[in-house]
Chain A
Amino acid sequence: MPLEKATALVIRNTDWSETSRISTLWTRELGKVRCLAKGGRRLKSNFESALDLLTACSIVLLRKTSGSLDLLTEAQVLERFTQLRNDLSALYAAYYVAELLGDWTEDYDPHPALFDEALATLRTLGQPGVACGPRLARFELVLLRELGYAPALAQCASCERPVAGSSPPGHGLAFSAAGGGVICSACQGQHGDRRPLTHEAWQALQTLNEAGDGWKSIEDPAVRATVRQVLNDYVTYSMGRRPRLLPYLGS
């Protein structure tokens, strides 16, 4: 049974016994792992307070090959996102990150880029002057891309013509979760679940989909609200169920 070292984010904890717990960790190197942390509920253990929810930590675990839970042998805090404890909307947004990572990814399916984006999101949420909605939307689009569900934004999801080529560019558009992205005006009749998409909201989705800090420039409340609705629809459709945290999120 090999010992593995990894950088992890704690996304769920379940009490196992009076002193032990089962922790679900999203690691950069191994993807999602579920580990038994013996003594993990004790104040004095090898894990100290590293197994609190949404704590980034370095871990050592013993991989089990028989299908039983891996055994966590060490965990040390790397980063704690303390600002989440002072901002309820940021805390709920962070819970949503944990829910998406925990419920929408497979065990041992690593996505280093998604791990880095998750940590970057948690670092930013709750910081002074940062709006949770656009930051979370940026994370969702990275997650969707990493998992192979990226919505079509530059071209019509139905006819595949570039929507920037429409006249005027980006106008008369809609978004269909079932259709897989933006729908041009000519194809909208085929998509009963379509939601009208303003030119500004379409541009915002394009900006959010690009690397960098473009999400900070999305300030219009109406655009943020549309982006939130579109992503709520799309994540719910792609995931196959409505995420538990969606009702708690603002735009």
Chain B
Amino acid sequence: MPTAILPMDAAPVGAIARLMHELGKLPGIGPKSAERLTHYLLASDVEQVHALADALHAIKDKVHPCRQCFNLTEGDLCKLCADPRRDASTLCVVEQPRDLASIERAGSFRGLYHVLGGRLAPLENVGPENLTIDALLRRVHQGGVKEVIMATNPTLEGDGTALYLSNLLADSGVKITRLARGVPSGSVLEFANNQMLADALEGRRAF
């Protein structure tokens, strides 16, 4: 916890101004928040500040994409790819490492992942060469994969990316599936929007 209050009468100069400037570049941090965080850090224990600085250094020095799935890792392989208990015959294709983390939090998928690094967006000059599509094709063609689950975002560009991949993998002999969509579990129909209901009806299945 902060132990001292710094005088606020002078304009920040030197190291203080630099830290405020750098913090202000972070998403969701405006000039006021940057100033508040800077003064919090100034008033914090030196060990706490050094720990933060070390953590910032570490994420840039040690973290890199997994050689196999392009999830973020500090080793050669991420802990999921290195885990022999995971089902290597099922690949779940996601856009970003954050999507992978969300699916892992759900705790219901025991296969492996492949992180594309984005989605195909020709309007923003993002083409297949900007994603890890070649690596995905190599993984599938190496054998051992029986199912590829398209877990791209349910947007037009996400669906377009899944469609592009499914076309590429059509002759590979693997089963290609995509995530179901519709009404969230635990919600009520009254508050579902039109698209959720339309998706749920389209994707209905037999009991």
Contacts and interface: CB of A to CB of B under 8 A. Distances in A.
Interface in B14-68: 27-28
B122 interface: yes
B122 A95 contact: yes
A88 interface: yes
A12 to B, nearest CB: 7
Count chain A CB atoms within 10 A of each CB in B27, B123, B193, B195 and give the residue with the most. B123
Contacts of A17: 27-28
A248 interface: yes
Contact of A18 (B28, B122, B160, B167): B28
A52 B163 contact: no
Interface in B156-207: 156-157, 159-160, 163-164, 167, 193-195
A99 B28 contact: no
A91 B123 contact: no
A48 B198 CA distance: 14
Contacts of A80: 195
A12 B123 contact: yes
A99 B193 CA distance: 29
Contacts of A55: 156
Given A77-B194, A91-B163, A245 B122 contact: yes
Interface string A75-99: 0010010001111100110010011
Nearest to B160: A91
B122 A85 contact: no
B155 interface: yes
B195 A49 contact: yes
A58 B146 CA distance: 44
A102 B123 CA distance: 10
B142 interface: no
B122 A53 contact: no
A110 B102 CA distance: 42
| Band of interface residues on A | 20 to 34
A58 to B, nearest CB: 13
Contacts of B123: 12, 53, 95, 98-99, 102, 244-245
B32 to A, nearest CB: 15
Contacts of B122: 92, 95, 244-245, 248
Count chain B CB atoms within 10 A of each CB in A84, A91, A245 and give the residue with the most. A91
Contact of B167 (A48, A49, A88, A95): A88
B108 interface: no
B125 A244 contact: yes
Interface of A: 12, 17-18, 48-49, 52-55, 77, 80, 84-88, 91-92, 95, 98-99, 102, 244-245, 248
Given A88-B160, A98-B123, 17 more contacts: A12-B123, A17-B28, A18-B28, A49-B195, A52-B156, A53-B123, A84-B156, A85-B160, A85-B163, A86-B163, A87-B163, A88-B164, A92-B122, A95-B122, A102-B123, A244-B123, A244-B125
21 contacts: A12-B123, A18-B27, A18-B28, A48-B193, A48-B194, A48-B195, A52-B156, A53-B155, A54-B156, A77-B194, A77-B195, A84-B156, A85-B159, A85-B163, A88-B164, A91-B163, A92-B122, A95-B122, A95-B123, A244-B122, A248-B122
